[in-house]
Structures are given as structure tokens and as C-alpha cells.
Amino acid sequence: MYGGAVGEVIESADPSLQAGDIVLSGAAWQDKFVAKANTLSKLEPFDPDQLSLYLGTLGMPGLTAYVGLFKFGEPKPGETVFVSAASGAVGANVCQIAKLKGCRVIGSVGSDAKAKWLLDECGVDAVINYKTCGDLNQALADVAPDGVDVYFENVGGDHLQAALNVMNPYGRIAACGMIASYNNAEPAPGPNNLMLIVGKKIRINGFIVSDHGDMREQFLSEMIPWIQEGKIKSRETVFEGIDNAINAFLGLFSGENFGKMVVKLD
């Protein structure tokens, strides 16, 4: 298995990297490995005590949020943005960035603790606990009386159906993932209201963040100051030791993570 990793160079035969440099890699699940220097990204951390930010808010999840929201969601101040899996590593960044850009933000999460964090710490305007709200379609309609202009799609299934019901004409959907269907033994029933895409002239864009590395510099130029000014909050669920890596991975599919799931090796 491979995944993003932040680590320290312990020995180098390449002049572009020195022992002690901090680098970002797509390493396998292991505590040491040999790599070519051109496969590593040297980091200049603004805070050496927050290196894991480069796996979350300043890493792939943060860039995913930024790319999906701005390139495909194209939110305008005053518009309403709905985010599924809103307390996850991607969703929480989408929520907070959208608020910073003057949008009304609605999130969907699976626990009251996650909802409280988004409301109290991240300034989200309304949060639905999809596990306890009953009819998700009605719950979303209740908190979006003026409809939804942008939906950041992380879940699929019933969340996509509920979003389509309340989306305004010319709404935009940035489709990042559909975790509700990743591990289904049988295909889940699809939304039964897809014709609304036609009638409402809704635009849906699927995207893969690795296609948009050209936006990374712009992303960091905005995100780092936001973090330093306390405008972007982040949470992590940390597992200790490589022996717990599989438990951390499986926890992603059952909603155990609160923010970015991280495995700490030392």
C-alpha cells in the first residue's frame, strides 16, 4: 500500500537533498525506504511541530478542496455551498475556504461531535447529522430554504439525491468521491432524480487532484497565511505505529476519522 508521507532524509547521495531535510513522498507503508531525489518534494515547514499539515490541510486533501471548490464549484459571495463528509480532511477545508470567500455553508456529518466542531470552530452556518436527521431530503431542504448553488460531492447515494432536489438552476457539482459506494458488495441504488440535472441545467465535474498540480503554488500562497492567522482549523485522528496502519485505513470507510487520518511512525 502507498500513501502520502512526510519524513526526514537520513542519508543522501544527491546534492539537491541533504541529511536532515524534510520531504514529502508517496511512500509505501514502511518506516525507511530508498528513493530517487526527483520523486521527493522538499518542504520548508513554517512550523516544525506541525509537519502532518503537509499530509492534510497543506497536502493532497487541502489541494483537493481548493481545486474542486474554485475550478469546478466556482462559488460566488452570497451563494450557498453544501458539503458532504464535511468534517473529513477534504470536506472541512472546503467548508472553511467557502466561508472565507463569503458563502453560506451547509455540511453533512455522521456525529454530533463533528457537527459541533464545524459549527463552533469552523463557522459553518448549518450542519446535518445524516445518521439522526431522519429524511435527509427534508433535512437539507429545511436548512437550505434558498436552495444550494454549489455541492461538493464526497459521498454519493442519498446525499447526491438530496442535493439535486434543492439545487438552484445552473448549480455546480464538484465530484471528488462517492465513499458511500466504495465497499458495497452489491451496487447501491442510484439517485432517482437525475433528470433534474437537465431541467435545472446543473453542471457536474468529476476531477482528480493529481491533474491540477499547477494550482499548488496558488493554493499554498493562500492557505499558509490562513492557517497562521487562525482562519483555517484542522483536526487529525492519529494512530501510533505502523502496526496500526491497517486499522487507520479501514476506519476511513466507517467514518471513524475526525479530520485527516494520520499514522505516526516515531
pLDDT per position as a tens digit, 164-206: 999 999 999 999 988 766 666 777 677 999 999 999 999 999 9
Q: Above 80 in pLDDT, residue 88?
A: yes
Which amino acid is residue 148, in one-letter code? V
Q: Residue 113: give its domain's CATH number.
A: 3.40.50.720
**What per-residue confidence (pLDDT) applies to 189?**
73
Higher pLDDT, residue 28 or 228: 228
**What per-residue confidence (pLDDT) applies to 49?**
82
202-238 burial, b for 16+ CB within 10 Å, e for fewer?
Answer: bebeeeebeebeeebeebeeebbebbeeeebbbbbbe
Total Cβ atoms within 10 A of residue 140 = 24
Give the end of a domain, one of 193, 209, 225. Answer: 209
Tens of pLDDT, residue by residue over 208-225, are: 999 999 999 999 999 999
**What per-residue confidence (pLDDT) applies to 143?**
99
**What per-residue confidence (pLDDT) applies to 183?**
64
Count of the separate structural domains present in the chain: 2
Residues 204 and 221 in one domain: no
- Give the distance from CA 54 to its chain's centroid: 13
Residues 98 and 171 in one domain: yes
Flag whether 195 is in a domain: yes
Residues 90 and 151 in one domain: yes
**What per-residue confidence (pLDDT) applies to 184?**
67
Flag whether 64 is in a domain: no
Flag whether 251 is in a domain: yes
Flag whether 19 is in a domain: yes
Residues 95 and 183 in one domain: yes
Flag whether 237 is in a domain: yes
**What per-residue confidence (pLDDT) applies to 28?**
79
Tens of pLDDT, residue by residue over 26-40, are: 877 888 889 999 999
Residues 18 and 131 in one domain: no
Total Cβ atoms within 10 A of residue 38 = 9
Higher pLDDT, residue 258 or 109: 109
**What per-residue confidence (pLDDT) applies to 151?**
99
Residues 168 and 100 in one domain: yes
Residues 231 and 155 in one domain: no
Residues 148 and 260 in one domain: no
Flag whether 78 is in a domain: yes
Mean pLDDT on 145-169: 97
Percent helix, strand, coil in the chain (nearest 5)?
Answer: 40, 20, 40
Flag whether 66 is in a domain: no
- Round the average pLDDT of the chain to a whole number and report it: 92
Flag whether 117 is in a domain: yes
**What per-residue confidence (pLDDT) applies to 23?**
94
* Edge-to-edge order in the sheet of strand 80-83: 126-129, 104-109, 80-83, 148-153, 167-175, 203-206
Is residue 239 within 8 A of residue 262, CB to CB? The reply is: yes
Residues 109 and 192 in one domain: yes
Residues 25 and 89 in one domain: no
Give the end of a domain, one of 209, 229, 244. Answer: 209
Residues 122 and 193 in one domain: yes
Number of C-alpha atoms within 13 angstroms, CB side, residue 254? 6
Q: Above 70 in pLDDT, residue 257?
A: yes
Give the residue numbers spanning the domain of 47.
Answer: 5-59+216-264
